[in-house]
């Protein structure tokens, strides 16, 4: 398969990790088809960031799928009655969205079949992350196994790979690698409660991990914050 024939569906949220993964897939020679979700999340600015980063990185096509996960709630990101915590917490945080990655990967799998793509890229990380169960390597491996039982393409011998290039990297390592391949992190939005203009709160778990990553990488934090750095 020549480089020009390599297609990949890349899950993009507009945040730091998924934008780095998109840059990595592009560096590997994939023709990237980016996929994001309007699932009722608090931070709608991340959708604009996903569109912009996809365009800047030359995605072949960008799709935004509408899902209303607010109908089931259960997360601070999809239920306004649950506050986004601004202090560190133990255990699985209330920002965990039930079954989110399973839903997203399933739709990515369907699009990959339609495109004839054998690769899906996702920015899950099991080192500097919030403790979400659907970001663990064993979960991704189990989903890949399921995908290769459930699809017409796999029955015909075209096996699907779920690529997780960030899974064992620290946030600092992710940032260093991203900068090295041209990622402009000022264009990304990671904050759980970013303003409509994409300004980050600087206090939520996602903001904390991002700030620490830049500090440990020894690089200037280009994130646009509301007030505090």
**3-class DSSP string for the chain:** CCHHHCEEEEECCCCHHHHHHHHHHHHCCCEEEEEEEECCCCCCHHHHHHHHHHHHCCCCEEEEEECCHHHCCCCCCCCCCCCCCCCCCCCCCCCCCCCHHHHHHHHHHHHHHHHCCCEEECCCCCCCCCCCHHHCHHHHHHHHHHHHHHCHHHHCCCCCEEECCCCCCCHHHHHHHHHHCCCCHHHCCCCCCCCCCCCECCCCHHHHHHHHHHHHHCCCCCCCECCCC
For residues 97 and 73, give the distance between their C-alpha atoms in angstroms, rounded to a whole number: 8
pLDDT tens, position by position, 29-48? 999 999 999 999 988 999 99
For residues 66 and 38, give the distance between their C-alpha atoms in angstroms, rounded to a whole number: 5
Q: Is residue 126 part of a domain?
A: yes
C-alpha pair distances (Å), 95 with each of 73, 214, 222: 11, 22, 24
pLDDT tens, position by position, 140-154? 999 999 999 999 988
Q: Is residue 228 part of a domain?
A: no
Q: Is residue 229 part of a domain?
A: no
16 pLDDT above the threshold of 90: yes
Q: Is residue 227 part of a domain?
A: no
Treating both helix axes as pointing N-terminal to C-terminal, what angle do 205-217 and 171-180 enclose, rounded to 10 degrees? 60
φ and ψ at residue 105, rounded to 5 degrees: -65, -35
- Report yes or no on whether pTM surpasses 0.95: no
pLDDT tens, position by position, 196-210? 999 999 999 899 999
Q: Is residue 226 part of a domain?
A: no
φ and ψ at residue 65, rounded to 5 degrees: -100, 130
pLDDT at residue 4, rounded to an integer: 60
Tell me, what CATH number does 80's domain have?
A: 3.40.50.620
pLDDT at residue 1, rounded to an integer: 42
pLDDT at residue 31, rounded to an integer: 98
pLDDT at residue 130, rounded to an integer: 66
Number of domains forming the structure of the chain? 1
93 pLDDT above the threshold of 60: yes
pLDDT at residue 2, rounded to an integer: 45
Q: Is residue 47 part of a domain?
A: yes
* Neighbour count for residue 220 (Cβ, 10 Å): 9
User: In which band, very low, low, confident or very high, does the pLDDT at 127 lie, cut at 50, 70 and 90?
Assistant: confident
Domain range enclosing 69: 3-217
State the first-to-last Cα distance of the chain, in angstroms, to the nearest integer.
47
Q: Is residue 36 part of a domain?
A: yes
Q: What is the mean pLDDT of residues 116-140?
A: 89
78 pLDDT above the threshold of 50: yes
Q: What is the mean pLDDT of residues 94-109?
A: 95
Between 228 and 18, the more confident residue is 18
């Amino acid at each position: 398969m020549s480089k020009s024939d390599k297609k990949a569906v890349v899950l993009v949220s507009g945040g730091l990790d998924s934008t780095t993964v998109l840059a990595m897939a592009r560096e590997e020679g994939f023709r990237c088809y980016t996929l994001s979700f309007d699932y009722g999340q608090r931070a709608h600015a991340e959708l604009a960031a996903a569109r912009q980063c996809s365009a800047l990185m030359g995605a072949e096509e960008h799709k935004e799928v509408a899902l209303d996960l607010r109908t089931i709630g259960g997360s601070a990101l999809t239920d306004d009655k649950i506050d986004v915590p601004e202090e560190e917490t133990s255990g699985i945080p209330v920002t965990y969205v039930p079954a989110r990655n399973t839903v997203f990967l399933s739709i990515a799998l369907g699009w990959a079949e339609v495109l004839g793509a054998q690769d899906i890229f996702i920015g899950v990380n099991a080192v500097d992350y919030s403790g979400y169960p659907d970001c663990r390597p064993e979960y991704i491996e189990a989903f890949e196994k399921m995908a290769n039982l459930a699809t017409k393409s796999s029955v015909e011998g075209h096996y699907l790979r779920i690529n997780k290039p960030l899974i064992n990297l620290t946030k600092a390592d992710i940032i260093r690698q991203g900068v090295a391949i041209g990622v402009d992190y000022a264009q990304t939005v990671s904050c759980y409660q970013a303003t409509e203009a994409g300004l980050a709160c600087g206090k939520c778990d996602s903001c904390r991990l991002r700030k620490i990553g830049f500090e440990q990488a020894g690089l200037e934090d280009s994130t646009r914050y509301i007030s505090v750095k």
